[in-house]
Amino acid sequence: MKKLVIASLLIAGSLLAESGSSFENRKGVAPATDSLYLKECGSCHFAYQPGLLPSRSWVKTMEKLNDHFGTDASLEPEENKKILKYLVDNSAEKFTNYKRSKKINDSIGKNETPAAITKTGYFIKEHKGIKPKLIEQKEVKSLSNCMACHTKADKGSYSEREINIPNYGKWEDE
């Protein structure tokens, strides 16, 4: 009986702590912290935060790593499983207290499973005002290269103040 009371107190305590954090509205996306993920998924490109896509997108990506945007990014089954779990546990719909994750998730239709962040409605809307020549230039190459313009992208921070586009500079809303 005593044990039961303690257990329920512990559960109530952790529920309280959780609901507390979900009231706080955080601005960017949660930073990527998993060392295996950073190593395996940050070698060819920026390690995109899990909160930039919903879990069904990550499932799709991890299922066909052998055919990954024109490259083979296959992993050992054990590593694939660990990374998939990390991505799903931290995907956009789990982090609705992070403003950008919520906006990205809300912009994707229920029947859509985009593999790319750059193909989501929210992303397209936010980036449509950038002149193609600023994107195509060699210092950037494509919109997939978040760090080229978002100087704190690796911290999960995409605030307008931190944007610095090569050969253009700070972004002012036009």
Residues that bind ligand HEC (rule: CB under 6 A) add up to a total of 40
Rounded Cα–Cα distance for residues 174 and 170 (Å): 12
Of 136-165, binders to ligand HEC (CB under 6 A) are: 140, 142-146, 148-150, 158-160, 163, 165
Q: Is the CA virtual torsion 153, 92, 44, 82 positive or negative?
A: positive
Is the CB of 15 or the CB of 69 nearer to ligand HEC?
69
Task: Report the nearest approach of ligand HEC to the CB of residue 73 (Å).
Answer: 4
Q: Of 26, 73, 88, 151, which one interacts with ligand HEC (CB under 6 A)?
A: 73
Which residues in this chain contact ligand HEC in the complex, by CB under 6 A? 40-41, 43-45, 48, 52, 61, 65, 68-69, 71, 73, 83, 100, 116-118, 126-127, 129-130, 134-135, 140, 142-146, 148-150, 158-160, 163, 165, 171, 173
